[in-house]
């Protein structure tokens, strides 16, 4: 663990200029509210047209949702290390299995120049663009991070941490999480919206309580629930928030078959 921390700190120093691109976003949305969209199965129930009234951050495969353009997405995070690198660099088999999907994601980045994309530093020599910015484990140069316990945490350990860190850096003071079923909802559900089925209940143990307790000093964080509650955040009913009832759709109704076929190459996903 100490070795990893030392390696990350060294990388932050060596690649300081590459990571400095994040500085332009500091407090860009000070005092505003936003949505953050995750890849949980509850996404299959929501109508994006009802959630277009606030600027939004997304992660994972949300850009491939057929209704993506109904949202006011300004920022997208895909912080998986080495995802865009050549296959011979990738040690994990699932990353090699997602090579086709990473190529599709490149197309999304190129075709949506108005969106800002955040990728892991390890991809910085394989993925470039005026709208691509790199992150490692922290927000280099953010004074609030340096002055709090956040400096000891990996803020980009995964999509949940990363998108909240980005919202914090942007200065949002109210955040509404949509589709973070495994991290915030009770009962928690596994799988993702682009997999078949509604997901299955499981006993979630990683609730990021320390992380959330710090961020709550800076912004109000809510989770949008289709039905249920939350153990670590205030849950807001989707119906109460939007004034409409949730309606379930299967993955083939929400994503083009071209992308489903690419995702099916990864053995971690249950697509068909």
> Burial code of 35-61, b = ≥16 C-beta within 10 A, e = fewer?
bbbbbbbbbbbbbbeebbeebbbbbbb
Strand ranges in 102-219 using DSSP code E only, listed in sequence order: 116-120, 132-135, 174-178, 188-189, 201-202
Decide if pLDDT at 110 tops 70.
Answer: yes
> pLDDT band at 37, cuts 50/70/90?
very high
- Say whether the peptide bond before residue 187 is cis (omega within 30 degrees of 0): yes
pLDDT digits (tens, 9 = 90+) for 194-219: 999 999 999 998 899 999 999 999 99
**15 or 159, greater pLDDT:** 159
| Domain positions in the chain | 2-263
Confidence at residue 2, expressed as pLDDT on a 0 to 100 scale: 60
* Secondary structure letter of residue 152 according to DSSP: G
- Domain 2-263, CATH: 3.90.1480
Decide if pLDDT at 13 tops 70.
Answer: no
Average pLDDT of the chain, as a whole number? 95
d(CA 96, CA 89): 9
Helices marked H in 114-208 — which ranges?
143-146, 159-170, 181-184
Confidence at residue 180, expressed as pLDDT on a 0 to 100 scale: 98
Decide if pLDDT at 3 tops 60.
Answer: no
Confidence at residue 4, expressed as pLDDT on a 0 to 100 scale: 67
Mean pLDDT of 239-255: 97
d(CA 119, CA 126): 11
pLDDT digits (tens, 9 = 90+) for 112-163: 999 999 999 999 999 999 999 999 999 988 999 988 999 999 999 999 999 9
Confidence at residue 140, expressed as pLDDT on a 0 to 100 scale: 86
Give the pair of three-digit tokens for residue 186. Answer: 């009770």
The reported pTM is 0.95
Beta-bridge partner residues of 235 = 223
Confidence at residue 15, expressed as pLDDT on a 0 to 100 scale: 81
> Burial code of 171-193, b = ≥16 C-beta within 10 A, e = fewer?
bbeebbbbbbbbbbbbebbebbb
d(CA 208, CA 143): 22
In 10 A of CB 96, how many CB atoms?
15
> pLDDT band at 1, cuts 50/70/90?
low
> Looking up tokens 């980009």, which residue turns up?
156
pLDDT digits (tens, 9 = 90+) for 93-106: 999 999 999 999 99
Decide if pLDDT at 87 tops 60.
Answer: yes
d(CA 229, CA 184): 9
> pLDDT band at 258, cuts 50/70/90?
very high
Q: How far is CA 245 from CA 64, 166, 196, 225, in A?
A: 24, 30, 21, 12
């Amino acid at each position: 663990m100490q070795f990893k921390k030392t390696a990350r700190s060294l990388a932050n120093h060596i690649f300081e200029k590459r990571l400095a691109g994040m500085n332009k976003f500091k407090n860009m949305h000070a005092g505003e509210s936003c949505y953050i969209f995750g890849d949980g199965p509850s996404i299959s129930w929501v109508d994006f047209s009802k959630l277009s009234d606030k600027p939004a951050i997304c992660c994972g495969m949300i850009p491939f949702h057929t209704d993506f353009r109904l949202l006011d997405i300004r920022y997208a995070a895909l912080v998986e290390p080495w995802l865009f690198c050549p296959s011979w660099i990738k040690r994990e088999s699932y990353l090699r299995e997602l090579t086709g999907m990473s190529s599709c994601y490149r197309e999304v980045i190129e075709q949506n120049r108005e969106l800002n994309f955040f990728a892991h530093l390890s991809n910085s020599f394989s993925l470039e663009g005026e709208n691509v910015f790199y992150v490692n484990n922290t927000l280099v140069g953010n004074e609030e991070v340096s002055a709090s316990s956040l400096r000891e945490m990996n803020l980009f350990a995964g999509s949940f941490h990363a998108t909240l860190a980005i919202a914090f850096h942007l200065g949002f003071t109210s955040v509404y999480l949509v589709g973070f079923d495994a991290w915030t909802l009770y009962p928690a559900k596994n799988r993702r919206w682009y997999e078949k089925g509604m997901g299955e209940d499981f006993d979630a143990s990683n609730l990021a309580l320390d992380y959330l307790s710090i961020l709550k000093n800076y912004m109000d964080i809510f989770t949008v629930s289709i039905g249920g509650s939350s153990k670590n955040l205030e849950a807001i009913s989707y119906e109460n928030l939007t004034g409409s009832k949730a309606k379930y759709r299967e993955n083939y109704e929400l994503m083009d078959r071209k992308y489903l076929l690419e995702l099916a190459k990864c053995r971690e996903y249950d697509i068909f």
